[in-house]
Each structure stands twice: as C-alpha cells, then as structure tokens.
Amino acid sequence: MSQSPSSGASAPLHRLLSQAADAVQGVREGRSLTDLLTRVPADLRPGTQALAFMALRRLGGAEAARKQLAPKAPPPRVDALLLTALALLWPDPEPAYADHTLVDQAVHAAKLRAPASAAFINAVLRRFLRERDTLVAAAERSPEGAFNHPAWWIEKLRLDWPAQWQAILAANNRPPPMTLRVHAQRTTAADYVQRLAALGMGARLLGAPTPQAVVLDKPAPVSALPGFAEGWVSVQDAAAQLAAPLVIGAGLKPGARVLDACAAPGGKTAHLLELQPDLQLTALDADAQRLTRVQDTLNRLGQHATLKAVDARQSATWWDGAPFDAILLDAPCSASGIVRRHPDVRWLRRPDDIAALARIQAELLDALWPLLAPGGRLVYATCSVFRAEGQAQLDAFLQRQPGAKSHAVPGFTGHLLPVAENASQGNAGPPLDGFFYALITKP
C-alpha cells in the first residue's frame, strides 16, 4: 500500500528524511526495503515509507543530477541523504513540501547524522534549486535519469515489449491503487462498497474478470477497513485475484486435492478456499518465516490448509504419493510486474538474476508436473513482465513435456501488462500489476 507524506506529519521532517535516507542507502547496498522498514520506529514508519518510495521512484534522475553537482561521490550516509533530498526536490506539480522547508530540514538532518557535511548538503541543494530546469533536463538525457530504472532493465523491456516499454516504465513510477478482495462467502463486492461509503470511504467495483475486487479512491490502513479483522476483506491486487478462479476453473470436485506450491504470503491460498471451502489444500513455501504469514492470513479468515516449510522441488521429502487434482505454481521471479508497489526491486535486481530465476522456475515446473493427476490442471504464474519468466518459460516447458496442453483463457492467461489497455473502462490508471499466467492440463 502506498503512503502519503502526510502519514508521518506528526514527526519532524528531518527525522523522516534521515530514516528515508537510511532506507535508500540500504537499498543501494542490496537490502530489501521491506526489511529495512521493519527497523524504523513504528511512529516514523508510514512517513518514512512515503519518502523512501518517492525517492526510489526518482533515484535514477537524482543520481544523474548529483553526478553533475558533485562528480566525486560523498560518503554513503551523506550521499543517501543528498539523493533523497534531490529526489524530493524533483519537479512535481504537487510537491510534498515547499522547497525551502525541504532544504532546511535536509540540512538539519545532516547536522545530526554527519555534521561536517551540513554545509556541503546546503550548497548542493541550493544550487540544484537555482539551476533545476537545466540540471533536470541534462539528467533526463540518460536512460536511467529519464526512466528511473537501471539501463539493463530498460533495454530488456524495450526488446520484450517494443510498443509498450515506455508505458510500463511510466506505470512503474506511479503510486498504485489499493485494491481489496471481498470474501466471497461473507458478502458481495457491491455490498462492501456500500459499507465503505457509509464510513465516507470512496471505492469502486472492478467487475469481471475480478468480481470480488474493490479499488479504494484513496489508500487506507487496514485497521480502517470495516470487517478486516473478521476476515470480510483482504488486500490483494486485481491481477493476483485471477489465480484462484483459473485454478478452480468450472469447479473442482468436492474434497479435491490442491497444491499451492509457493504460497507465501498466502493471498492466493486464501482466495482458493474462499471460492471452494471444501478443498484439501496443501500450501508450501521454502521460507518457514514467510509461511507464518500464510497461517496468520488463514487464521484471520477462519480457513484451514496443510502448511509445509519445504522446497517444492524436493518432492521426495514432502509428497505422500497421492496426485493433486490442481496445482498453483506462483513461482519465484524478478517481481518486475509489481515495481510500482515495491520501488526498490528495480535497484536490487542484477542482469543475471533473470536467467537464474528462470532456471528455478523450470526446475519447479519439471518437479511438480509428475505430481499432477491425469486430467488435472496446473496454473503457472509469475508477477513479472519479462518474457523469459513468462511466455518463453511456458514454451520451453511444452517442448519438454509434449503431452502437456496450454489453454488460452481470455482476460486471464498470457502476459498482463500494467498499462492502460489492461485497465477497466473509465479508470484513470491501470489497476493491474504486471503478471503472467498459463493454464496447463495433463492428458
């Protein structure tokens, strides 16, 4: 969920800037923003996240501008604060803070975190404001500065999607909508929108092919959502809500055995049980800590599944030999389709990560295919827009398994890109994350 800077308005801006700079520094050193934010004091976390998200969405331009202003990079703690401030001073029709306030508070933060750098920070930021138009124009002449993604990522998208690559990059830099999934066994999406309206919270229905999806006009903490603690609603992007109905299809037989092979954090696991509560569902994840999030989700929703902390590829260590009627493989991937929700991903990935992840995806497909019953269905999913993790992966699997059959399901399968043509009619921006889905059946 995106946060507005006002979320941390009760905290002094210089403290939020310092925390956000620490987060930016951590990401530049290869650490996950999600993990970094858990270390931020609770009262500062919403505001810190808002500033860190904004800084990471503009980091390419900020780095290009800093290289013009200070060709020799300052120490990491100073550089991170400087880049965060430059990103927040970037031209914006609705800036979060007045320029003079931001500069003043960045200098205040510098005095506390690196006192000797305060004059340097002040000089650089004030020069940036004086020459902003020229410096921004120069920064945007480089691919990284223009699109705020690494050059290799931009080139890969350009090759994969020659007509849409710029739209995808632009979508990645916009805050995403907050989308909910209404529990099908508790109420309808239309009724839930009315409940929200009664509380003064605007929302709209998405409709088919995601009939349980509701998009909020403005993001809100889950504690403000009526019935959240009681399991009436969950937070889940519309694209992710396509997985469960694709697995169930026209309906699995009562008591059908279903495998969710890479289940954490549990949204798709729960959705399967919302649509068909009588499933015998086994949920796996290689990370035992992440699997606890699946159990927490099931507990909140009053659902049950068999959870196992195992590597799905090592079926000899966990499979009981009884075939599954359906398998969902939401495979580990680059997360290149959900960059708008996780703006650090683009800066954490390296070019060779994609090939390494594609090998894991192929290993998972090959390991799980023998576990599927004849006539069963396997849904392969990734939250990626790269073809290597989507259509190319599917094509290679079908070559290795001549008996497997892929089925096109309009609106569900194939590459779903986070661009306007995948948006609901009348929506100002695409409500969908980038995903790939394939439905494969066994003879």
Query: Hey, what domains does the chain have and what are their CATH numbers?
Result: 5-147 (1.10.940.10), 179-234 (3.30.70.1170), 240-441 (3.40.50.150)
3 state SS of 354: helix
Q: Could you tell me the pTM of the whole model?
A: 0.93
Q: Supply the mean pLDDT for the chain.
A: 94
Residues 283, 298, 206, 173: what is their CA dihedral angle, to the nearest 10 degrees?
-70
pLDDT at position 5 over 60: no
Q: Name the strand (E) or helix (H) holding 327.
A: strand 324-330
pLDDT average, residue stretch 380-394:
98
The Cα 287–Cα 265 span in angstroms is 10
Confidence of residue 3 (pLDDT cuts 50, 70, 90): very low
φ, ψ of residue 320 to 5 degrees: the values are -90, 0
**Known catalytic membership, residue 262:** no
Convert the pLDDT of each residue in 138-176 to its tens digit: 999 999 999 999 999 999 999 999 999 999 999 999 999
Catalytic-labelled residue, pool 383, 388, 438, 440? 383
Peptide bond into 209 cis (omega under 30): yes
State yes or no: pLDDT of 2 exceeds 80. Answer: no
Q: What is the pLDDT of residues 258-297, one digit of tens each?
A: 999 999 999 999 999 999 999 999 999 999 999 999 999 9
What DSSP character marks residue 220?
A: -
Say how far apart CA 328 and CA 315 lie, in whole Å: 15
Residues 150, 384: Cα–Cα separation, whole Å = 16
Between the CA of residue 163 and those of 66, 143, 339, what are the distances in Å?
Answer: 32, 17, 19
